[in-house]
């Protein structure tokens, strides 16, 4: 069998098998970052028999979305058990769907060998592989977005409608993405099938009315209103800068420079580049006006679309230069699993494998606290580090450290501080120096956990 037929038939399954093996290897990895809330909510649905979709209060939050992903997790847990391995393998259908849709998208613009290269690049793309092994709901967002793009490019109205409905119900960024595609396909391309995107808006409006009838609010309930406020003009400028930073972060800057450089030289934006820009714009539209913190994972679709667009753009240069530039890009993508910014700027821990040593450090902290007979309630810790074992390890235990918010000063006997929390506060750093002393350090690679103990009072 020649190479091209082999890649056409087997390339997708080779890459899918690698991801399946990766999920098998990390099946006991604890729950990380924002997936903690999803798992916690899924457990709530299980415990309440799926009778309450609005778990506000008691440290549960209703963010206004239809909780599709927690419901999906809860159904899997009901059938297979509340286990870590179930959580990790929950992402595989969406991961496989993403690879299938990405291959279909690539096949419109690339030869089969280059399609396989794009699929291989996902294996060393720091944000995509990290979000996959941490079973992030963003993988479902990417799958639905690519499915929607392919449906629009194939004029498949029913697929457009279904993908749009799920995207708009899943997240506000899905609504923004459907909106930008609606403008492009209906008004710029005069494609009548673009009108099927309206189904997503109708589904979202229906959900909003149901949600309002039950909860009494549309967009910003008491628990999340600080994240749904319209920010100031200065805040919008700051958010714009943050969006640009996230767009070019994690090695993406290399691809952007090549893509835009070649596009400017050709004085033409081809369709894949336009779709990439629309995907970028849709995230910025929903991120710039609001006070909600901006995360790298919001741009996961952009990071994925950069791969085929980059490979397509360099196909116009001589083959030797293609190889050199392609290898450089692959090295940049892989190396970003080790790039760490100063603590004050925060890091995209859930979009990089440099976060993986954290789990062993947290285990060491837990064992030390237990050995020293320190009550967990006497240890204050930031986001991620405070997590309750019931949902972090999914083992039935109820150990949880006291949550220390980003703006609070500690008051407890012990403080566990880690760069993984992304909660740098210069004032608190000074407070710790004055009132606490280093007690124990746990460190591995870019990640550390420092346990402080309050100084004896005079």
Residue 3 has pLDDT above 90, yes or no: no
Which of 297, 322, 347 is at the close of a domain? 347
Give me the pLDDT at residue 1, please.
47
Asked, for residue 437, whether it belongs to a domain, the answer is yes
Which of 321, 347, 373 is at the close of a domain? 347
Question: Which whole number is the average pLDDT over 128-137?
Answer: 96
14-34 pLDDT tens trace = 999 999 999 999 999 999 999
Total domain count for the chain?
2
Q: Within this chain, do residues 174 and 92 fall inside the same structural domain, yes or no?
A: yes
Q: Within this chain, do residues 174 and 268 fall inside the same structural domain, yes or no?
A: yes
Distance of CA 420 to the CA centre of its chain: 15
DSSP secondary structure letters along 352-368 = SGGGTTHHHHHHHHHHH
Asked, for residue 205, whether it belongs to a domain, the answer is yes
Question: Which whole number is the average pLDDT over 103-109?
Answer: 96
Q: Within this chain, do residues 170 and 290 fall inside the same structural domain, yes or no?
A: yes
Q: Within this chain, do residues 246 and 110 fall inside the same structural domain, yes or no?
A: yes
What is the residue range of 413's domain? 357-454
43-59 pLDDT tens trace = 999 999 998 887 766 55
Buried b / exposed e across 397-413, counting CB within 10 Å, b at 16+? eebbbbebeeeeebebe
Give me the pLDDT at residue 237, please.
97
Q: Within this chain, do residues 336 and 362 fall inside the same structural domain, yes or no?
A: no
Asked, for residue 226, whether it belongs to a domain, the answer is yes
Q: How far is CA 234 from CA 230, 240, 288, 447, in A?
A: 11, 10, 11, 33
151-196 pLDDT tens trace = 999 999 999 999 999 999 999 999 999 999 999 999 999 999 999 9
Q: Within this chain, do residues 290 and 365 fall inside the same structural domain, yes or no?
A: no
Q: Within this chain, do residues 111 and 213 fall inside the same structural domain, yes or no?
A: yes
Q: Within this chain, do residues 24 and 108 fall inside the same structural domain, yes or no?
A: yes
Asked, for residue 260, whether it belongs to a domain, the answer is yes
Asked, for residue 352, whether it belongs to a domain, the answer is no
Mutual angle of helices 172-182 and 198-215, in 10-degree steps = 150
Q: Within this chain, do residues 178 and 226 fall inside the same structural domain, yes or no?
A: yes
Residue 9 has pLDDT above 70, yes or no: no
Q: Within this chain, do residues 371 and 268 fall inside the same structural domain, yes or no?
A: no
Question: Which whole number is the average pLDDT over 332-346?
Answer: 88
306-320 pLDDT tens trace = 999 999 999 988 999
Asked, for residue 267, whether it belongs to a domain, the answer is yes
Give me the pLDDT at residue 8, please.
65
Give me the pLDDT at residue 4, please.
63
- Name the token pair of 385: 């580090």
- Output phi, psi for 60, to 5 deg: -100, 145
159-170 pLDDT tens trace = 999 999 999 999
Give me the pLDDT at residue 54, please.
78
- Name the token pair of 27: 């099946």
Residue 224 has pLDDT above 80, yes or no: no
Asked, for residue 295, whether it belongs to a domain, the answer is yes
Residue 7 has pLDDT above 80, yes or no: no
Residue 452 has pLDDT above 80, yes or no: yes
Strand order in 414-418's β-sheet?
402-403, 379-381, 414-418, 447-454, 436-444
Cβ-contact 91, 132 below 8 angstroms: yes
Give me the pLDDT at residue 457, please.
75
Question: Which whole number is the average pLDDT over 390-396?
Answer: 94
Question: Which whole number is the average pLDDT over 286-299?
Answer: 94
Cα(52)–Cα(37) distance, integer angstroms? 16
Q: Within this chain, do residues 340 and 412 fall inside the same structural domain, yes or no?
A: no
Exposure on the CB side of residue 178, measured as CA atoms within 13 A: 31
Strands (DSSP E) found in 38-101: none
Question: 101 vs 251, which has greater pLDDT?
Answer: 101
Which of 279, 313, 347 is at the close of a domain? 347
Q: Within this chain, do residues 194 and 291 fall inside the same structural domain, yes or no?
A: yes
């Amino acid at each position: 069998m020649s190479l091209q037929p082999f890649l056409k038939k087997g390339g997708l399954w080779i890459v899918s098998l690698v991801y399946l093996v990766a999920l098998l290897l990390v099946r006991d990895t604890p729950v990380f970052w924002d997936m903690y809330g999803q798992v916690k909510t899924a457990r709530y649905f299980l415990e309440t028999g799926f009778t309450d979709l609005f778990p506000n209060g008691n440290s549960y939050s209703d963010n206004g979305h239809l909780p599709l992903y927690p419901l999906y997790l809860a159904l899997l847990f009901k059938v297979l058990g509340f286990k870590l391995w179930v959580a990790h393998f929950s992402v595989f259908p969406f991961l496989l769907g993403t690879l299938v849709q990405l291959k279909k998208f690539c096949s419109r613009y690339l030869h089969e060998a280059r399609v396989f290269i794009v699929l291989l690049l996902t294996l060393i793309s720091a944000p995509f592989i990290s979000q996959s092994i941490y079973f992030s709901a963003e993988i479902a967002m990417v799958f639905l977005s690519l499915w929607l793009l392919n449906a629009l490019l194939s004029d498949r109205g029913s697929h457009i409608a279904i993908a749009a409905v799920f995207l708009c119900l899943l997240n506000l960024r899905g609504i923004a993405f459907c909106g930008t595609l609606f403008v492009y396909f209906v008004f710029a391309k005069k494609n009548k099938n673009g009108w099927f995107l309206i189904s997503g808006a109708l589904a979202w409006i229906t959900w909003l009315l149901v949600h309002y009838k039950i909860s009494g609010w549309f967009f910003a309930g008491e628990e999340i209103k600080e994240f749904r406020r319209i920010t100031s003009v200065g805040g919008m400028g700051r958010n714009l800068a943050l969006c640009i930073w996230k767009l070019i972060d994690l090695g993406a800057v290399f691809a952007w420079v090549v893509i835009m450089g070649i596009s400017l030289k050709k004085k033409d934006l081809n369709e894949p580049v336009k779709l990439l820009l629309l995907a970028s714009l849709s995230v910025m539209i929903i991120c710039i006006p609001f006070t909600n913190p901006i995360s790298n994972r919001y741009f996961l679709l952009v990071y994925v679309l950069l791969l085929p667009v980059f490979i397509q753009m360099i196909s116009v240069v001589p083959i030797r230069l293609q190889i050199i530039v392609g290898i450089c890009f692959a090295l940049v993508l892989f190396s970003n699993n080790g790039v760490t910014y100063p603590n004050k700027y925060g890091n995209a821990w859930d979009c990089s494998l440099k976060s993986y040593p954290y789990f062993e450090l947290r285990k060491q902290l837990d064992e030390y606290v237990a050995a020293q007979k320190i009550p967990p309630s006497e240890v204050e810790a930031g986001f991620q580090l405070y997590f309750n074992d019931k949902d972090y390890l999914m083992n039935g235990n109820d150990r949880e450290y006291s949550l220390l918010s980003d703006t609070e000063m500690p008051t407890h006997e012990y403080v566990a501080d880690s760069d993984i929390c992304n909660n740098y506060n210069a004032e608190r750093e000074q407070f710790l120096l004055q009132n606490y002393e280093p007690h124990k350090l746990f460190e591995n690679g870019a990640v550390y956990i420092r346990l402080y103990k309050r100084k004896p009072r005079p």
